[in-house]
Amino acid sequence: MSILISDIRLPFPFGEEEALLAARRKCSLNRDSAPSGRIHRQSLDLRHGRLRAICTVELELAGDEAAFVQEKNDPAVRLRHAPVLPAPSGEERLNVPPVIVGFGPAGMFAALILARRGYRPVVLERGAEMKERDRAVDAFFSGGALREDCNIQFGEGGAGAYSDGKLTTRIGDNRCELVTEILRQHGAPEDALRAAKPHIGTDLLKGIVVSIRSEIRSLGGQVRFETPMRGLLTRNGALRGLRLDGGELPCQTAVLAIGHSARDSFSTLLEQGVFMEPKPFSMGVRAEHLQEEIDRALYGKYAGTPGLPPGEYTLSHRENGRGCYSFCMCPGGQVVAAASEQGGVVTNGMSYHARAGRNANAALCVSVGPEDYGGGPLDGVAFQRRLERGAFALAGGGFAAPVQLAGDFLANRPTKQLGRVTPTYPRGWQFCRLDEALPPFVCEMLRRALPRFGAKIRGYDAPDAVLTGVETRTSSPVRITRGEDLYSLTVSGLIPCGEGAGYAGGIVSAAVDGIRAAEAIMARWKPLN
């Protein structure tokens, strides 16, 4: 147990010792009574024309923390309880280990919690382990063949492994602290975890994923790569096993954490009677700007201050019942080729921990609902696929992407040459009219939103900002519906989980959903040990 002291305001830049000293002073403590501490969270405040840091500091007291907080009676001083690992309480007997299908954030955290509690889970991941996955992705980025089961979407770490490693979430769940603590145990850097918008970076996140896999195996769990699930085996509506390429795997319970791009799995599960329904999602383009221009717009005269992080933004605009918003903003990052099927173009974005690239990029997405694409469970998948294949053909094939400058898009004219911003998409690009790549309602909403975003961030709608299409995989177009107990409505023992099942959006929320899935198993079954 420790205490958190919030609203510590300091000039920027500052040192950790300055923050600890300010927190002690605020609480009338000295180094003897509060011998150790750290910055728990920090953000920047540019209001009133001054650059300041606002910190929450964690202190460990030599005395009784609970009594101190009660005596202090200050809303800025509160207790911080260490995250608690959920404990088993179930009484049913497992004859075989639980199975986790998918090793993205949801599957990874479900497997880790179960492994720590003695369930010896078996993980099935259709893609390759990290080193082989890196080789496949690098080869594809360099012009090589696409491996449909090993790419940006599939493989160890899931789609989240090739991202900015963002840990920002809007869910108010105490399990978020447990996610952060586990990431810290496996090597997440302290500076990344304490930022107001925490991020790890693609380069560091990969090592954390491998470390978690090693712990699962050390505790008796299995992680099997290049092992896709091909279907369910059921008896009287209850799960009894999974069908694999090499035969059958018996199981009584399985966590279905297959990710938002497992389209073949969606089709198979629907055919086998797993209840699912269409779900809203969003689509649009990747917008690229010079990072220094974003910094100048956000930080003003303070841009370039040593220690100041690359500027990042969140933008949204809503009109006539439809929203347009920025998503997965990657400071100093690059646009990546995120296809998982032949003949389709998909964009995404990622940053390394240093965020040192020349460009900033973010998805600019428009909300899409079943009313836009049809009411069938897989109509959203079909809608995504049509647009991805259309973009592939429009840009001339070979996984090149369609590109148009923002000024030309707003004026509805073709682009003839680049300005200051060079696209970072690695498979090549062609100037195209984005109206030929996206539905009219998406283009109309983007045209309405861009000038408004330019009013919020100066230069955001600059004529030479680059728009690259198409961004279609922001979230799952399907919800594999589950009950309050987290189990499938139609297959007993099956727990749909994470982004692919429509219950999460981002690394932390997916990890939290994985922990919840592990808790559901532990509430019903005893550990194997």
Q: CATH code at 36?
A: 3.30.70.2700
**Do 249 and 359 sit in the same domain of this protein?**
no
Q: What is the CATH number of the domain that holds 106?
A: 3.50.50.60
**Per-run averaged pLDDT (10 residues), the chain, 529 residues:** 94 93 95 93 89 95 93 94 91 96 98 98 98 98 97 96 83 90 94 85 95 98 98 97 96 98 98 97 98 97 93 96 95 97 98 95 97 95 98 98 98 97 98 98 98 98 98 97 98 97 94 98 93
Contact predicate 219/213, CB 8 Å: no
* DSSP at 96: S
If one counts the domains in the chain, the total is 3
**Do 311 and 385 sit in the same domain of this protein?**
yes
pLDDT at position 335: 98
**Do 272 and 162 sit in the same domain of this protein?**
yes
Give the span between the Cα atoms of 13 and 29, in whole angstroms: 24
Tokens of 164: 């900015």
Looking only at the bridges linking them, the beta strands covering 238-244 and 247-250 are antiparallel
**Do 271 and 333 sit in the same domain of this protein?**
no
**Do 439 and 376 sit in the same domain of this protein?**
yes
Contact predicate 156/256, CB 8 Å: no
pLDDT at position 170: 78
Any domain includes 86: no
Give the span between the Cα atoms of 262 and 124, in whole angstroms: 13
Neighbours of 14 (CB within 10 A): 18
pTM comes to 0.95
**Do 406 and 319 sit in the same domain of this protein?**
yes
Give the span between the Cα atoms of 276 and 273, in whole angstroms: 9
Mention every residue, 6+ apart, whose C-beta is less than 8 A from residue 241: 232, 233, 248, 249, 250, 251
Beta bridge partners of 459: none
Beta bridge partners of 330: 361
Give the span between the Cα atoms of 17 and 9, in whole angstroms: 13
Looking only at the bridges linking them, the beta strands covering 334-337 and 322-330 are unpaired
Rounded to 5 degrees, φ, ψ at 369 are: -125, 170
Domain range for 169: 99-277+477-524
SS3 515: helix
Q: What is the DSSP string of 103-162?
A: -SHHHHHHHHHHHHTT---EEE-SS--HHHHHHHHHHHHTT---BTTBSSSSSTT-GGGS
**Do 339 and 390 sit in the same domain of this protein?**
yes
Any domain includes 295: yes
Give the span between the Cα atoms of 253 and 98, in whole angstroms: 5
pLDDT at position 111: 98
